[in-house]
Structure 1
Amino acid sequence: METNPRGIPQAPFIDNVEAYLKQNESAEITLKKFAETLSKYRFMENNMLQRKHSLETKIPEIEKTLAMVEHLISKQGTGEPIHTRFELHDTCYAKARIDSTDQVYLWLGANVMLEYTLEEAHTLLKDKLATARSTLTTTTDDVEFLREQVTTMEVNTARVYNWDVKQRQQARLAATEETVAA
């Protein structure tokens, strides 16, 4: 079975329903398997969409923090104080005067903050930003791939279902013709 680069299996497209069902099970069993596969793809898609949303939220925060560290690096050694406002909470800011600094504290998550030199912080943030952007790109690709697989499975399901309905109609028609002929 083919997969994408991250191991998500590709849904097979059923070209000939009759030949496919001869090689496999009945239409009912096939439809149940398709429904299960479809639910797995949708579950993966929802997880990827959540991850994508999380990354889309994190990237601007990392960019903003990186810009501040770059600003601090540019002011380093000039001797002039930096007047700024920093965020205490979502809508609460405080004024600050920074006379000189060669260290910053960065939130790492899970209520953990560590002290870094400006150069270390700059390197760390650039790496985190590059990783986040790369992950966002692959996650976006995976979401698109999963949407294609969902569509393929929906088409397969419809084709098998329609084929089964047609077969049942033909069987009923044949039974009716036998009854009339007898």
Structure 2
Amino acid sequence: MSSTEIKPGELGYVNPRGIPQAPFVEVVEDYVRSRDQVESVLQSFQEMLSKYKYMEMSTLRRAGGLREKIPDIQKTLDTVLFLDSKRNSEEPTMTTTFELNDTLYAKASVTAADSVYLWLGANVMLEYPIVEATDLLTSKLKSAQESLKLCEEDLEFLRENITTVEVNTARVYNWDVQKRREEKETAAQLK
């Protein structure tokens, strides 16, 4: 194996989402046969590091979006469940205040709601029977929570690999410094 062929995961594990594990350099000589290859090995590690950091930033953004989305889904589900509980109660009419805009609210009377309107995104709203809306929101909430859990697992995996690549880089760099020192000492002794 030449030093320019080092790729993440070629010697190790690939997680379920396809993120390869960085190889750990135990013996630097296995990766660097001569000092001439040090620069290409360090460049290879730098490329791996930048890829892992890009994946980390992307996963952080996705996790952040999910952290914002989960409370909204939960709040909507709670509201639908509340409407469902009021449907069969003795007081089928209730008065509520709802948000029209950031600073504009209106009062409304709600009577025995059999269906609700849910935003699907892209300015699309669709009417659902309460039972279907509950099922849909429950499955969306579960899916978002599972996705967040996977993002957190991926972030941990990426952080471990970033640390591994940084350690590899330091070990190869230190090996190169040691070899240079040895060469200088050998040259000095020959004079």
Q: TM-score range by the shorter chain?
A: over 0.9
Deviations 1:134-181 (A, max 9, x none): 0000010001100000000000000000101111111122112222xx
Q: Which whole-Å CA distance do the structure 1 matches of 2:156 and 2:25 have between them?
A: 21
Q: Which residue of 2 aligns with 1:6?
A: 17
Q: Which residue of 1 aligns with 2:7?
A: none
Considering only aligned residues, what root-mean-square deviation do their CA atoms show, in Å?
1.5
User: In the superposition, relative to structure 1, how do residues 15 and 90 fare at CA in structure 2: closer, same or farther (>3 Å)?
Assistant: farther
Q: Which whole-Å CA distance do the structure 1 matches of 2:41 and 2:101 have between them?
A: 54
Range 104-113 or range 146-155, more displaced: 104-113
- Listed as ranges, the gaps of 5+ residues in structure 1 are none
Q: Which residue of 2 aligns with 1:137?
A: 149
* Aligned partner (choices 157, 167, 175) of residue 169 of structure 2: 157
* Aligned partner (choices 162, 169, 177) of residue 181 of structure 2: 169
Q: Which whole-Å CA distance do the structure 2 matches of 1:67 and 1:116 have between them?
A: 15
Q: Which residue of 2 aligns with 1:59?
A: 70
Instruction: State the AA in 1 paired with 2:111.
Output: D
Give the CA deviation at 1:59. Answer: 0.2
For residue 22 of structure 1, give the secondary structure of its aligned residue in structure 2: coil
Q: Which residue of 1 aligns with 2:32?
A: 21
Give the CA deviation at 1:93. Answer: 2.8
TM-score normalised over the length of structure 2? 0.88
Q: How many residue pairs get matched?
A: 178
Q: How does 1:71-150 map to 2 (within 5 A)?
A: 71-78=82-89, 79-150=91-162
TM-score normalised over the length of structure 1? 0.92
Q: Which whole-Å CA distance do the structure 2 matches of 1:74 and 1:169 have between them?
A: 78
Give the CA deviation at 1:85. Answer: 1.8
Give the CA deviation at 1:17. Answer: 0.7
Range 39-48 or range 102-111, more displaced: 102-111
Instruction: State the AA in 2 paired with 1:29.
Output: S
Percent pairwise identity = 51
Deviations 1:41-68 (A, max 9, x none): 0000000000000000000000000000
Q: Which whole-Å CA distance do the structure 2 matches of 1:99 and 1:120 have between them?
A: 19
Give the CA deviation at 1:20. Answer: 2.5
For residue 96 of structure 1, give the secondary structure of its aligned residue in structure 2: strand
Give the CA deviation at 1:91. Answer: 4.3
User: In the superposition, relative to structure 1, how do residues 91 and 49 fare at CA in structure 2: closer, same or farther (>3 Å)?
Assistant: farther
With a CA cutoff of 8 Å and minimum separation of 6, indicate the structure with the bigger relative contact order.
Answer: 1
- Listed as ranges, the gaps of 5+ residues in structure 2 are 1-9
